Amino acid sequence: MARRAKGEGSIYQRQDGYWVASLRWGNRRTTVYATTKQEAVSKLQELQRAAHTLGRLPDPARLTVRDYLTLWLEQAAQRLKVKTLANYQGLAEHLITPHLGAIKLTRLNGLTLANYFARLTKENISPFRQRQAFALLHKALGDAVRWGLIPHNPATTIDRPKPKGQRRTIWTPQQVTIFLRAVEVGKGGQYADLFAFLLASGCRLGEALGLTWRDIDWQAGTVRIERQITEVAGKPIEGRPKSEAGIRTVALPSWGLATLQRQRARVREWQLKSDNPFAPGWQHCFVTGIGSMPEATNLRRAFRRLCEVLGLPPLRLHDLRHTNLSLLAASGVPVKDLQQRAGHSSATLTLSVYLHAAEDGDRKAAQMLEFLAGH
């Protein structure tokens, strides 16, 4: 019988029905167990990737949380989106390893994690960042269980940090009207129609920036969302929407289509004056005067300044999406239709975000009708 090559490993079934995956690397052997052959194959492949990454099999008795997160992030890079990976790397470096990094992975338990999150609260780390850190730890420690490095996931023994008990800030229909009238008469600068499009479509900023002219059906009054732009380390990265549900067709009101028509005229003028009118950047609907992708920092600054000039409550750019969907929820649009428009993967998520708007529906529906009558 031919001898197995280094790192090939073996899989077999015990008499009690459990499957065993075993891998020898150098002088060390690691064995993991599974209930099905497919699960055993998956665990063996994960051990092999870990061994190739480290140049050795991970030793649970010596592996610290810092070492393990480094290993896990290298593995996760193969399946995570660029922005998600960058966010996880930042969380691990700045929020997790300074507190937990020196602890042996096998000694990490629920009490240690509970104390860790209590300390983050004392340090005034926002609930949102705490929930992000919890999500990372939950995923990473779950993989450690699957790799046979620890017997159970300690993150499952503590509660997920609770979000702040506050509603999202949105504009009223009357405030929306003030904003749209200002944009229609040319106030607001070169990005005003981008802001109006976010309000008309309920799209995420990255989805709007990913929009190209061929994604617009002018006769039907719809846009097709198939890609998004995310900013990583100051550079725009094009990718797919957050989930398959994010690939969708969104209908626009007439004034929303008008924002795109104004933007098309503006971009054509810029393109004709450009030194490189055939650059690929001009295919996108929302660009700068030189055909490049606008930076998120500049967009936020421009929107904040516009709110101040118009005397409107300051919002985050993402709150324009919430304004659109909340007003629709308040006017009685069914949850299933809201879910599809928002690009949510489940109706549960849609309900959790916009239920408060639906509860105020009767009063706001009347306001919405007044708003629609004005357009």
Mean pLDDT score, 72-87: 83
Which of 47-56, 123-132, 155-164, 197-206 is modeled with the greatest confidence? 197-206
Residues 350/342, Cβ–Cβ less than 8 Å: yes
Question: Which residue bears the tokens 């922005």?
Answer: 83
CA separation for the pair 144, 104 (Å, rounded): 13
Q: How many CB atoms lie within 10 A of CB 73?
A: 18
pLDDT score of 239 more than 80: yes
Q: Which of 21-25, 61-65, 194-198 has the lowest mean pLDDT?
A: 21-25
pLDDT grade for 219, boundaries at 50, 70 and 90: very high
pLDDT grade for 149, boundaries at 50, 70 and 90: confident
State residue 302's pLDDT score.
95
90: tokens are: 């930042």
pLDDT grade for 2, boundaries at 50, 70 and 90: very low
Question: Which residue bears the tokens 């007044």?
Answer: 370
pLDDT score of 153 more than 90: yes
What pTM was estimated for this model as a whole? 0.67
State residue 346's pLDDT score.
83
CA separation for the pair 375, 372 (Å, rounded): 5
Show the beta-strand stretches assigned E in 300-351: none
pLDDT grade for 365, boundaries at 50, 70 and 90: very low
Residues 139/337, Cβ–Cβ less than 8 Å: no
Q: How many CB atoms lie within 10 A of CB 223?
A: 26
* pLDDT: which is higher, 54 or 15: 15
CA 214 to each of CA 222, 225, 251: distance values in angstroms, whole numbers, following the listed order: 11, 11, 15
CA separation for the pair 289, 194 (Å, rounded): 14
CA separation for the pair 291, 5 (Å, rounded): 53
State residue 1's pLDDT score.
42
pLDDT grade for 355, boundaries at 50, 70 and 90: low
Give the chain's mean pLDDT. Answer: 86
Share of the chain above pLDDT 90, in %: 53
pLDDT grade for 6, boundaries at 50, 70 and 90: low
Q: How far is CA 248 from the centre of its chain?
A: 17
276: tokens are: 């490189």
pLDDT (tens digit per residue) in 104-133: 999 999 999 999 999 999 998 988 899 999
pLDDT score of 359 more than 70: no
State residue 123's pLDDT score.
92
Mean pLDDT score, 30-56: 77
Mean pLDDT score, 167-190: 89
Residues 137/155, Cβ–Cβ less than 8 Å: yes
pLDDT (tens digit per residue) in 287-336: 999 999 999 999 999 999 999 999 999 999 999 999 999 898 888 888 88
pLDDT grade for 358, boundaries at 50, 70 and 90: low
pLDDT score of 361 more than 60: no
State residue 240's pLDDT score.
87
CA separation for the pair 340, 347 (Å, rounded): 9
Domains within the chain, CATH numbers bracketed: 1-40 (no CATH), 58-157 (1.10.150.130), 173-373 (1.10.443.10)
Report which of 167, 200, 204 is spatially closest to residue 324, judged by C-alpha positions.
200
